[in-house]
Structure 1
Amino acid sequence: MARIRAVQARVMGQVQGVAYRAWTRGTAETLGLRGWVRNEPNGSVSALLIGPQDKIDDMIARMWDGPGAASVRDVERHPETVVDGFEPFEIHR
């Protein structure tokens, strides 16, 4: 069984107002990840990705493309402490 990890990702570029959060939730659910995604005041999008490392790596790679209207400039990733309590993947407002 794969070890569960957690990664905080920050996506920069034209990622707000282009359905990036909804795309992130749908893609994360398809990959079986838990966590959340939210818009940040500086125009970026942050996400907490919880799941097996290979699925997180796949999600981070996909985040460089995002939905069709997005224009991603950078995706940062930072390891986080694994946390419990996230069942579905949530969009935070």
Structure 2
Amino acid sequence: MPDVTDSGAARLTAWVHGHVQGVGFRWWTRSRALALGLVGSATNLPASRVEVVAEGPREACEQLLAALRSGETPGRVDFVAEQWSEPKGGLTGFVER
């Protein structure tokens, strides 16, 4: 089983809390993810949250996570919870839901 703590492929699931709906946040996230060569999705959830799922090189996923926490996002990010796991595969592109 691959070690998801190394620089190989990883799956990042991040739950972004704050004022992140209706402000272009998912589009912004998609553009950052595609620039990093990641696949996945950004999905609106209840309680003004967005779930970001990204798969690709661990380093690129870490860069996306840093961007989500950077303070340079549309809207306002109050908190980002993260979970790392092995990639599941089967994803193409990066979609907004």
Question: Displacement of 1:80 after TM fit?
Answer: 2.8
Aligned to 1:44: 49
TM-score under structure 1 normalisation? 0.89
Count of residue pairs the alignment pairs up: 90
Separation (CA, whole Å) in 2 of partners of 1:17 and 1:66: 16
Q: Secondary structure at the match of 2:60?
A: helix
- Could you say what secondary structure the match of 1:74 adopts? strand
Q: Which of residues 27, 37, 42 in structure 2 aligns to 1:22?
A: 27
Query: Structure 2 CA distance, aligned partners of 1:42 and 1:34?
Result: 25
Normalized against structure 2, the TM-score is what?
A: 0.86
- Runs (4+) of structure 1 exceeding 6 A deviation are none
The reply on whether 1:34 has 2:39 as its aligned counterpart is yes
Choose from 75, 89, 92 the match for 1:87. 92
* 1:67 counterpart (63, 73, 81): 73
Distance in structure 1 (CA, Å) of the matches to 2:72 and 2:39: 18
Render the CA deviation track for 1:58-90: whole Å, top value 9, x for unaligned. 10010123534x111111101133111111011
Percent identity, please.
29
Q: Which runs of 5+ in 1 are unaligned?
A: none
Distance 1:57 1:33 in 2: 11
Q: Identify the range of structure 1 (27-36 vs 78-87) with the bigger mean alpha-carbon deviation.
A: 78-87
Quick one: which amino acid aligns to residue 88 of structure 2? Answer: V
| Partner-residue secondary structure (3-state), 1:61 | helix
Q: How does 1:7-18 map to 2 (within 5 A)?
A: 7-18=12-23
Alpha-carbon distance in structure 1 between the residues aligned to 2:44 and 2:96: 9
Give CA-to-partner distance per residue, 1:16-64, whole Å, 9 cap, x none. Answer: 1110000010010001011111000111100111011111111001012
**8 Å Cα contact 1:18-1:67 kept in structure 2:** no
